[in-house]
Structure 1
Amino acid sequence: MADHVVWGVVVVPGAALVELVLRAGDGVGCGWLEELTLEAPLVVPERGGVRVQLSVGAPDGVGRRVVGVFSQVEGEAEGEGVWRRHARGVLSADVPVVVDGLGVWPPVGAVSVDVGGVYERLAGVGLEYGPVFQGVRAAWRRGDEVFAEVAL
């Protein structure tokens, strides 16, 4: 996690929150994440730990479930500490819709985007990604859509 720094503070990557939510969704038969809004960074404390809690609501009339990601700083007594919401979203059992034109790579009609220096530019606005998080290899844009090749 030390390689994921925002404005000088280590935070849990959004992708990790997505993984947590998807795992919770799998457990209740809703393995498709329709939407996830990140509301606040989940800060990794310099010392100690943090409790993380996911809440998954009851299914609505069409099988969707509301999900939330919360944290409480370790050391705050259970029941006394404040639970902060970091993300909220919607899980579903629906099968995702396939995006047209992805049978060919790069996507038809997409224009290559220069990714050289992307991490330096991000660091300039406070987003510092260490080597573990520097996986963008190529990118393309098609209208408002961005497609990327990312290596783990």
Structure 2
Amino acid sequence: TYAFQRERYWTTGDPGLPRQTAGHPLLGTAVELADGGGTLYTGGLSLAGHPWLADHSVGGVPLLPGTAFVEMALAAGARAGCGAVEDLTVTEPLVLPEDGEVRLQCTVGEPDAAGARAFRVHAATGDDDPWTTH
């Protein structure tokens, strides 16, 4: 630790948790689940970070478009070896706040007998807010 030493050492969170970027603007970070049965993607959405999301609103309320759900499912599925989306059901719209960020957790489950995997999206607007399944 010399005053003019040019090497920097920064911690990047939990050293025991292997993380890698998902290589997708909406999915964020990918974490392989310990049981080998799937992958967890974490990230965040905001109108400031993704201004194009403000273009999709219903009744003046910005919502994540259905095509964004499809895009996330296709990207996560391709990484898991699944190349198609057979069925997509959005059970609740994902409302984007005017200010702040929505935290995302997307999961790709383990394959079933036919090789298909479930894809689920959960979101929360604040640290103390409950997670909503979409």
The DSSP-based 3-state class of the residue aligned with 2:115 is coil
Deviation at 1:12, TM superposition (A): 0.8
- Is 2:21 the counterpart of 1:21? no
Partner of 1:85: 133
Partner of 2:113: 61
* Counterpart AA for 2:109: G
Which has the bigger relative contact order, CA under 8 A and spacing at least 6? 1
Matched pairs, number: 82
Partner of 1:44: 96
Partner of 2:13: none
Residues 22-41 of structure 1 show CA distances to partners (whole Å, capped at 9, x for unaligned) of 10001110121000001111
* Counterpart AA for 2:89: T
Identity over aligned pairs, percent:
48
TM-score of the aligned structures, taking structure 2 as reference length = 0.58
* Structure whose CA Rg is larger: 1
| Runs (4+) off by over 6 Å | none
For structure 1, the 5+ residue unaligned runs are 87-152
TM-score of the aligned structures, taking structure 1 as reference length = 0.51
2:120 and 2:58 map into 1 onto residues whose CA distance is 22
Supply the RMSD in Å over aligned alpha carbons. Answer: 1.1
The structure with more strand, counted as a fraction of residues? 1
Deviation at 1:65, TM superposition (A): 0.8
For structure 2, the 5+ residue unaligned runs are 1-52
